[in-house]
Chains A and B, each alone.
Chain A
Amino acid sequence: MTETPAPRRVLLVTSTQTYKVGAFLEAARQLGVELIVAAERAPALAWASPHSQLVLPWWDAEAVAQRVLEFARVRPIQAVVATDDESAAAAARAAAVLGLPHHGEAAVGAARDKLRLRETLGAARRPVPWFSAFPVDRDPRAVAREVPFPCVLKPRFLSASRGVIRADDPETFLAAWSRLRRLLERPQVAAAGGDLAHSILVESYLPGGEFALEGLVTRGRLRALALFDKPEPLVGPYFEETLYVTPSRAPRKLRAALWREAQRCVEALGLSHGPIHAELRATPRGVVLLEIAPRSIGGLCSRTLRFERGSVSLEALLLRHALGEDVSRVRRERRAAGVLMVPIPRAGVLREIRGAQEAREVPGIEEVRFTLPLGQHVEPPPEGARYLGFVFARAARPETVEAALRRAWERLEIVVEPARAGSAGQSGLS
């Protein structure tokens, strides 16, 4: 008589706002892995698969620990993976109580708080911009006298460029401060940030090209899975992400410098096991890490990354890595790939998306996918946090990918009905 092997079970810690769960479910199905989806709220029909779901209030570390331990006593868990910034701390907590390899709680906490990130990297002698945090209720006119210009105002905890505003002089600084303060006072934002929502981080603005590095850390050693160029200049006043293209066309020396700086920052923070997504700038004075998140690339952007000649998704790679498999020999496919994060032209109600079919017909475009339904209130950065959708392209060369994405972008027409007076800031997305 043969024994049925015990299922390989992975706890996927996620927020209900992410788009990544579907890709992880599919990857788990292909790998024969049982995926336990742990979110802050039970999904509809949770009763249908009670053993596949777990409610984790990720803002309560003790509750996370208790629920994970209770669950794992009955259904042992072999690995923990986080999908997004909000759930990363809970994933680190879950892994810690289960004794599983994962980025540590302190490292995840430091990466999430942009002030602690700067302090930790500065203490480790990594290059950081001038920075200082100020209480949000301080007189911004006084703060403006203490900061260098141009500078960038940031919330300490939000992602996707949300709330990030450049100021070139005291006048634009006051306007940016006021705008950011209003964002931080939104009930959902304030609740998500907790104490971190009570201060504003101000940094000197760093000129230079920006890159995103997708990596996998194993026992503290970073391996770059992909380096993305961001060909659309990010100079402010807002920093909306649009184009990502990989492989990078940067000179070999710069690519090496970007990886090296990311590795040093990983070490400085103590990030030890799991995916990272880092944003770096190549400034005239050298490479500076702007942000690093202890999770994989956001939104649906992971669709740009395929491994082993296109047969393995990023999510499958992450599950295999989390389960202890040696994936160090798995390589990204040779073809170039890229994504356009479709920007929201203005705040209001999304009424119509024109040109989607025409965009799909551009040679090299693989998929055009919108993630916000018609009728939804939308808002661009700095207040908004979500993209309208994603356009994916693949070709032999990165310049062909970029050209295809730009042509597809030109063909899209997004109809947003302006928000009525008084309705700004009432978005369901906040």
Chain B
Amino acid sequence: MTALADVTLEVPSGLVLGLLGPNGAGKTTLIRILLGLTRPTAGDASIFGRPVGHPSARARVGYMPQDVALYTDLTVEENLELFGRLYGLRGARLRARSREVLAVVHLAERRRSLVAELSGGMRRRVSFAAALLPDPDLLLLDEPTVGVDPELRSEFWEYFHHLTESGKTIVLTTHYLEEANRADRVVFLHGGAILATGSPEEVKARTGASSLEETFLRLVRARTGGRT
């Protein structure tokens, strides 16, 4: 089975790109290919002109996996320090950077807690903080806002745009189609293929729908010839 077929995509820097689609659409596979964790059976991918998976490419990419992957038997701070060191941060700069990213996710006062003691939502926030830590040029975020309460979710989006203003690029996946309205560009994936791509306004205008959800349904119907 191929999870993705015929996906050609170029992501310009300085944008938030939302990968949208149902479970099994190929969103996570696409992210994993960009990380070099999954090798495509055909085709190739590059980041900043370097082949994906190359350590020099990986050094410029921050990653938040869909399932939280943290050492639950270490503290929040120790987790961040580990990931920071792997990306070459050290000493005072590492500590300062850890504090900065924990402030972004509102967990500064929990930095000494074991990850095992945190709620699921808090763990996701730590996972996001770990992705931000090396101040990467590209952030690959797999479902960054799942389990995050609406207020903080809104803050996350503000922060995404704050990052893109300084030239960073963000590729994220989401289930929440409405929050994808805040992306600069969306890519609708379905069955491993791209249904549409463009700014949220463009894709909505193209199908004449009022919402991204409606847009998606129309696109799927058009593709499957009316059968859903």
Please determine whether chains A and B interact with each other in the same assembly.
no
Taking Cβ atoms with an 8 Å cutoff, the residues of B that contact A are none
Taking Cβ atoms with an 8 Å cutoff, the residues of A that contact B are none
